[in-house]
Amino acid sequence: MVCGSSQGIGKAAAVELAELGANVVVFARNEEKLKAVQAELDSSKNQRHSYLVADFSNKEEVVEAVYKLLESTQVHILVNNTGGPPAGKAIDANIEEYLTAFSNHLLVNQLITQAVVPGMKQAHYGRIINVISTSVKQPLPNLGVSNTVRGAVANWAKTIANELGAYGITVNNVLPGATDTSRLDAIIKSKAEKSGAAEESVRSSMAAAVPAQRVGKPEEIGAAIAFLASPAAAYINGVNLPVDGGRTSSL
């Protein structure tokens, strides 16, 4: 099950998993976009793909949708990929911004994970991958709420990795760097407006800061997620994996 999968990295993860032969459930709030993603997924290995619709700001709606799915489907792979909070300085953010981000990211992750883990334990196979941010290793400027909440999700993930490892369940985090998504477009636009620079200039500066000299592609993040979801990654557990062209220190 791929959450937040109607576009960008979530969609790319769904595509990669389907190409590897998985039955994919895409999960987000926009039904039309979900239908479009489902139609793009490879089914050459007789896979059966489906989708769930819920707004992650409504925890009860999310839980209801997941448990309804579990009445007929066992989930072996869970990809948590919720869109990031709005940009801004941590010191300027109000309490509601923090509470909303904490709920949409950590609390929803917790509720979905609690729902699917019993089936993973029964199968003695589970892969939980959280798509967060390189801010876990180094906070990013002007993303105060995001930096804070992403750090909380990373530590939550490491904690449950320790708790679930004995059941054949791994829990890992993928940390995308600057990736060519609508989220990056919004960040670039905000930086351009505040600095007075052209958007293309801001984008070029971001690319120049990466050893690879470019921003990432969603499918490159999706490939890393798909690997961590595979049997080949059985002995990788509790890690934060930067997928950022080498910008973030590995130490």
Q: Helices 31-40 and 8-19, interaxial angle, to 10°?
A: 30
pLDDT at site 115: 98
One domain, residues 192 and 126: no
pLDDT at site 222: 96
One domain, residues 86 and 134: yes
One domain, residues 189 and 228: no
Whether 5 shows a pLDDT value over 90: the answer reads no
Alpha-carbon gap, residue 9 to 173, rounded angstroms: 14
* 31 residue type, one letter: E
One domain, residues 70 and 128: yes
- The total of other beta-carbon atoms located within 10 Å of residue 208's CB is 9
One domain, residues 120 and 194: no
Residue 4 binned pLDDT confidence (cut-offs 50, 70, 90): confident
Instruction: Specify whether the CB–CB gap between 10 and 28 falls below 8 A.
Output: yes
One domain, residues 125 and 194: no
Print burial letters for 88-100: b (CB count within 10 Å at least 16), e (below 16): beeeebeeebbeb
State both tokens at 216.
């990432």
One domain, residues 18 and 115: yes
What CATH number did the domain enclosing 91 receive? 3.40.50.720
pLDDT at site 114: 98
Domain count, the chain: 2
Three-state secondary structure string covering the chain: CEECCCCHHHHHHHHHHHHCCCCCEEEECCHHHHHHHHHHCCCCCCCCCEEEECCCCCHHHHHHHHHHHHCCCCCCEEEECCCCCCCECHHHCCHHHHHHHHHHHHHHHHHHHHHHHHHHHHHCCEEEEEECCHHHCCCCCCEHHHHHHHHHHHHHHHHHHHHHHHHCEEEEEEEECCECCHHHHHHHHHHHHHHCCCHHHHHHHHHHCCCCCCCECHHHHHHHHHHHCCHHHCCCCCCEEEECCCCCCCC
Looking at residues 11-24, what average pLDDT do you find? 96
Residue 251 binned pLDDT confidence (cut-offs 50, 70, 90): low
Which residues are within 8 A (CB) of 210 and not within 5 positions of it... i.e. 6 or more apart? 177, 178, 244, 245, 246, 247
* 245 residue type, one letter: G
Whether 250 shows a pLDDT value over 70: the answer reads no
Residue 194 binned pLDDT confidence (cut-offs 50, 70, 90): confident
| Each residue's pLDDT tens digit, 35-90 | 999 999 999 999 999 999 999 999 999 999 999 999 999 999 999 999 889 889 99
| Each residue's pLDDT tens digit, 218-246 | 999 999 999 999 999 999 999 999 999 99
One domain, residues 203 and 111: no
Alpha-carbon gap, residue 111 to 58, rounded angstroms: 12
| Each residue's pLDDT tens digit, 88-147 | 999 999 999 999 999 999 999 999 999 999 999 999 999 999 999 999 999 998 899 999
Residue 183 binned pLDDT confidence (cut-offs 50, 70, 90): confident
Looking at residues 203-223, what average pLDDT do you find? 91
Domain encompassing residue 95: 2-177+217-243
One domain, residues 137 and 191: no
